Chains A and B, each alone.
Chain A
Amino acid sequence: MIKITNLEKFYRTEEVETIALNKLSMHVDTGEFVAIMGPSGCGKSTLLNILGMLDDPDEGSYVFNDIEVAHFNERKRADLRKHNIGFVFQSFNLIDELTVFENVELPLIYTGVPTGERVKRVEEVLDKMQIMHRRNHYPQQLSGGQQQRVAIARAVVNKPKLILADEPTGNLDSSNGNDVMELLTDLNEQGTTIIMVTHSEHDARYSHRIIRLLDGQTVMENIMI
């Protein structure tokens, strides 16, 4: 599904040039659950942003579903992204002004799903995440675990092929964290590819494979069986 080769990304300020990704190569197959680990500043988030087509690489190739996307313009990337990729963030990133239902509905609006279909799909996914009873609440009325469920619901409502999760349990206690990891595992078992950045060895054990980064390069891969 994903094949990146010699990927490079620099951050420049006036004085220094920082290398975030240094000739990084890796691949992820369809249906895999991959965890990316490494110390702060090793390039995990940069990699995730590029994989999520929120950012573009300076050098190298990024093939997504047999399409070279490294040099796609903003509009094409956005188009590919909204149909194929769902995001889960550490800080949930729900919109405070919208209700649970409206937050989850948002990706469907942007992909142009008709109203009737939208209601059906949102209800379906809220049901699955067991937060249907909270559909008219605002994010600040929910606990962290509930907020992350909403965020996951929002990520999967469009039935994406790939979910990118950036420390999804970072803001949660261990019990809520485990719930979230179970949810992700379920999704993976139903066929969704998942790439997750995490600091937690515990969470990483839910994945099939761990890629460890240091200074923008892959230093080790562990296969978890």
Chain B
Amino acid sequence: MIKNYLKIAWRNLVKNKVHTFINVVGLSLGMAVVMLISLWIYDELSYDKYFPSYDHIVQVMQHQTINHNTITQVDIPIPLGAKLRQDYGQDFKYIVLSTYTDQHTISHEDKKLNHSGKFMQAQAPDLLTLKMIRGNRSGLSDPSSIMLSSSLAKAMFGNADPMNQLIKIDNTLNVKVTGVYEDMPQNTSFNDVAFIAPWDLFMTTFPYLKRAATQWGNNSWELFAQMNPGVDVNKVSADIKYAKLRSILAQGDKIGASFNPVLFLNPMSRWHLYSAYFNGVNIGGKIEFVWMFGVIGLFVLILACINFMNLSTARSEKRAKEVGVRKTLGSDRKQLIGQFYTESLLMSSLAFAISLILVQLALPWFNQVADKQLVILWDAPVFWIIAIICSLLTGIMAGSYPALYLSSFKPVKVLKGAFNAGPYAKLPRKVLVVLQFTVSITLIIGTVVIFRQVQFTKNRPVGYGREGLIQAQLRTDVIHKHFDAIKYDLLKSGAITNIAESNSPLTGVWQRESGLSWRNKPAGLQDDFGIIPVSFDFGKTVNWKVIDGRDFSKEFITDSSGIILNESAARFMNFSHPVGETVKKDGRNYKIIGVVKDLVMASPYERVTPTIFFIIDFPGNIVSIRINPNISTHDAIAKINAIFQQYDPDSPFDYQFTDSEYAKKFDDEERTGKLAGFFTILAIFISCLGLFGMASFMAEQRTKEIGIRKVLGASVFSLWQLMSQEFVVLVSISILIAIPTAYYFMHNWIRHYYYQAALSWWIFVITALGGLLITLVTVSYQGIKSALTNPVKSLRNE
């Protein structure tokens, strides 16, 4: 029996090629999308679950309030570690201070590699339960040790034994390898930690750290902890709330206390997906994308299933006769149900097989866009079980209409040709088409808005010249010591037109300070300035625009205590003529010599931070270099590299193009836009497939009517109109629903950006027109084809 079912099902699929094509392609695209999105969601939801103590690991964070604006940060002061250990030690199993993950030069003999890593207190490997390949987790107790990830160990020593090998960090710190741990996977918060070195070693690197070790107002480090079993995280979080505030008051740091620091514990389960805060309140984060893509994926699959159901009902009239004949010949209802289900399951299995191929083909591209390393879990039984159950469910869902409804027809009725599904039979079909296009059009509008926002922000004037500018991080003071000589050599080589040092790259503000004072500063005004020490040529190197006063110049000896404000700082200080005014910082007076147009250095979506540029009097950690436009970039880089190597042979010259660094700021939004665009195109494609199928079946159904109309004198145009208008009406209804829906969602989305592209009316109008155009193109083929058919043919078929 099953064999018979399969044979007939297969013949039916082959016979109705258009129908089969639309269903199989639509379903397999839908399944492929769902599979991709499921893999992505699985990856997101399993973030950090690699760590066995996932449920007990927390990060200590704080809220601080500046001018009624609460910011939430991971940055904490050093003494907090000891304080928690001392006052709340019974709640924590491990408390570990850590530096930010940062790039360092790791060298062994002649081999130099730049890798990111952390300096952490000795219990870090226990806290994370690192999987040790060599050595054990106590490897960091020796202050001159280092633990490497297996991939870094491999890169460094190849097949040689890495244990006890001597390594230099940033050419200054001598350490010995005391352990090798398995690479932490991509979907963990520590995926880029290629090495861990002892915190105590870090504390010896800069003299200022001695002071910082007791300063409660210097928030430049991270603190991780693991709770003791059975401890309530929320309770401890409430207990430690004011630990910092009390200490900072005790230390007499009034400014620090005025920010009202409030500590809390952030469980590991919330790090990745719930990282967004607004005014001290958690507002979600990446979890929104999980929901968004989850919903999109589900919708795309539903769209494909809708096609299946719609085409089945559209075909019901044709199949009704078949049902009649079969019943007359003795088939009972159960067998018919079996027959129809076999067909739909065969189709969904076919679609599942194709979707696996599609996913495999799309994964490299998808991974690149999504910045993931997803793979099909070929060897995981769970994957297969879920996938097969899903495709069975899809087949059953899609096939239930024909199986249950068509099989119930009375044979006498349908064979007499009296079968008429009635006006209500078409209603669900219409509702489904409206639903399809509502989803598609909402997705189109959303994608357009996202792309426009990114484009709009990209076009934002940045206040400096990005092109032909490179920046490199300096990890030692060697370059600083020879700065003038290096500059001379670089200029002589013709590779560059200018070079400058600074303490932040153009694409970030690394230092912020408050407690500055100036004439007529209102009492109680809390200030928070970006502080950027730069060398004299900085402005000429980056091509900023001086709009008041003048640039720094070596010709004025007094410029070493001169400062330049950006427009936002000048506005914040509320000077009508800022040039010549004095600003006091750390007890020293600085004279404003100029104002520059705002430089967009931090997030391009946000307001520009009020920023003050000082003359640098210590080794900067960034050089910015303007490449000579008359020479190829490739040659210029080669020359620059040679000169840097000549002066600092121990550090690899590691540079970035400023414009590509700037472009990275758009990665998240562009990724979202690209993924949304991808799903949108698929959704539209699937919807159009369905529409095309509907149009062709409608044309088939109405062949006779069209023939009669033609005999009575209908023109091709009027027939095309007749065939298209129903769909145009349906899509128009979708547009009317989709526009307010999309407006609501996108208005909410774009509100989070300070610098935002307007939701112009034309986006909606153009999308609506586009939707109608796609509809017309899709259904016109069938409409015109049937309008051109000779009526003699269709009428003779009677």
Cβ A106 vs Cβ B712 within 8 A: yes
Q: Is B718's beta carbon under 8 Å from chain A?
A: yes
The residue on B at minimum CB distance from A83 is B713
Cα–Cα, bound, A75→B795 (Å): 19
Cβ A87 vs Cβ B718 within 8 A: no
The residue on B at minimum CB distance from A50 is B792
0/1 interface trace, chain A 135-157, chain B, CB 8 Å (1 if under): 00000100000000000001000
Cβ B713 vs Cβ A93 within 8 A: no
Cα–Cα, bound, A76→B273 (Å): 70
Cβ A140 vs Cβ B420 within 8 A: yes
Cα–Cα, bound, A78→B790 (Å): 12
Cβ A82 vs Cβ B712 within 8 A: yes
Cβ A93 vs Cβ B708 within 8 A: yes
Instruction: Name the A residues within 8 Å of B792 (CB-CB).
Output: 49, 54-55
0/1 interface trace, chain A 83-102, chain B, CB 8 Å (1 if under): 00001011101111100000
Q: Is A111's beta carbon under 8 Å from chain B?
A: yes
Instruction: Enumerate B80-97 residues with CB–CB distance to A below 8 Å.
Output: none
Indicate whether A91 sits within 8 Å of B798 (C-beta atoms), given known contacts A78-B715, A97-B705. Answer: yes
Nearest-Cβ distance from residue A160 to partner chain B, whole angstroms: 11
Instruction: Enumerate B395-423 residues with CB–CB distance to A below 8 Å.
Output: 418, 420
Cβ B708 vs Cβ A95 within 8 A: yes
Nearest-Cβ distance from residue B703 to partner chain A, whole angstroms: 12
Instruction: Name the A residues within 8 Å of B710 (CB-CB).
Output: 78
Q: Is B315's beta carbon under 8 Å from chain A?
A: no
Q: Is A3's beta carbon under 8 Å from chain B?
A: no
Indicate whether A54 sits within 8 Å of B790 (C-beta atoms), given known contacts A78-B715, A107-B712, A154-B712. Answer: yes
Indicate whether A106 sits within 8 Å of B790 (C-beta atoms), given known contacts A89-B795, A96-B420. Answer: no
Partner of A140, one of B418, B712, B714, B798: B418
Q: Is A81's beta carbon under 8 Å from chain B?
A: yes
Q: Is B709's beta carbon under 8 Å from chain A?
A: yes
Instruction: Name the A residues within 8 Å of B791 (CB-CB).
Output: 54
Partner of A81, one of B418, B707, B713: B713
Instruction: Name the A residues within 8 Å of B795 (CB-CB).
Output: 89, 93
Cα–Cα, bound, A15→B715 (Å): 35
Cα–Cα, bound, A151→B185 (Å): 77
Q: Is B704's beta carbon under 8 Å from chain A?
A: yes
Instruction: Enumerate A39-91 residues with CB–CB distance to B below 8 Å.
Output: 45, 49, 52, 54-55, 75, 78-79, 81-82, 87, 89-91
The residue on B at minimum CB distance from A86 is B712
Q: Is B758's beta carbon under 8 Å from chain A?
A: no
Cα–Cα, bound, A7→B710 (Å): 24
Cβ A111 vs Cβ B713 within 8 A: yes
Listed residue (A45, A49, A89, A93) with the most chain B CB atoms within 10 angstroms of its CB: A93
Cα–Cα, bound, A93→B712 (Å): 11
Cβ B705 vs Cβ A95 within 8 A: yes
The residue on B at minimum CB distance from A56 is B790
The residue on B at minimum CB distance from A106 is B712
Instruction: Enumerate B775-796 residues with CB–CB distance to A below 8 Å.
Output: 790-792, 795-796
Q: Is B711's beta carbon under 8 Å from chain A?
A: yes
The residue on B at minimum CB distance from A81 is B713
The residue on A at minimum CB distance from B714 is A110
Instruction: Name the A residues within 8 Å of B420 (CB-CB).
Output: 96, 140
The residue on B at minimum CB distance from A80 is B713
Cα–Cα, bound, A161→B705 (Å): 24
Listed residue (B712, B790, B791) with the most chain A CB atoms within 10 angstroms of its CB: B712
Cβ A95 vs Cβ B713 within 8 A: no
Cα–Cα, bound, A97→B425 (Å): 14
Nearest-Cβ distance from residue B416 to partner chain A, whole angstroms: 11
Instruction: Name the B residues within 8 Å of A111 (CB-CB).
Output: 713
Nearest-Cβ distance from residue B407 to partner chain A, whole angstroms: 24
Cα–Cα, bound, A54→B711 (Å): 7
Nearest-Cβ distance from residue B708 to partner chain A, whole angstroms: 5
Cβ B711 vs Cβ A110 within 8 A: no
Nearest-Cβ distance from residue A51 to partner chain B, whole angstroms: 12
Cβ B418 vs Cβ A107 within 8 A: no
Cα–Cα, bound, A45→B715 (Å): 23
Cβ A93 vs Cβ B790 within 8 A: no
0/1 interface trace, chain A 17-33, chain B, CB 8 Å (1 if under): 00000000000000000
Instruction: Name the A residues within 8 Å of B711 (CB-CB).
Output: 52, 54, 81, 87, 93
Cα–Cα, bound, A87→B791 (Å): 13
Instruction: Name the B residues within 8 Å of A45 (CB-CB).
Output: 796
Nearest-Cβ distance from residue A72 to partner chain B, whole angstroms: 14
Cα–Cα, bound, A82→B790 (Å): 16
The residue on B at minimum CB distance from A55 is B792
The residue on B at minimum CB distance from A157 is B712
The residue on B at minimum CB distance from A75 is B715
Instruction: Name the B residues within 8 Å of A78 (CB-CB).
Output: 710, 713, 715
The residue on A at minimum CB distance from B708 is A93
Indicate whether A106 sits within 8 Å of B709 (C-beta atoms), given known contacts A54-B790, A55-B790, A91-B798. Answer: yes
Instruction: Name the B residues within 8 Å of A55 (CB-CB).
Output: 790, 792
Instruction: Name the A residues within 8 Å of B707 (CB-CB).
Output: 93
Nearest-Cβ distance from residue B420 to partner chain A, whole angstroms: 7
Listed residue (A54, A97, A107) with the most chain B CB atoms within 10 angstroms of its CB: A54
Instruction: Name the B residues within 8 Å of A97 (CB-CB).
Output: 705
The residue on A at minimum CB distance from B704 is A93
Cα–Cα, bound, A49→B795 (Å): 11
Cα–Cα, bound, A122→B544 (Å): 82
Instruction: Name the B residues within 8 Å of A96 (CB-CB).
Output: 420, 705
The residue on A at minimum CB distance from B420 is A140
Instruction: Name the B residues within 8 Å of A49 (CB-CB).
Output: 792
Known contacts A89-B795, A96-B420; 18 further A-B pairs (Cβ under 8 A): A45-B796, A54-B790, A54-B791, A55-B790, A78-B713, A81-B711, A82-B712, A82-B713, A91-B798, A93-B708, A93-B795, A95-B705, A95-B709, A96-B705, A106-B709, A106-B712, A110-B709, A110-B714
Can you list 17 A-B contacts (CB < 8 A)? A49-B792, A54-B791, A54-B792, A78-B710, A78-B713, A78-B715, A82-B713, A87-B711, A89-B795, A93-B711, A93-B798, A95-B705, A95-B708, A106-B709, A106-B712, A110-B718, A140-B418
Chain A to chain B: the 3 pairs with minimum beta-carbon distance, closest first = A82-B713, A110-B713, A107-B712
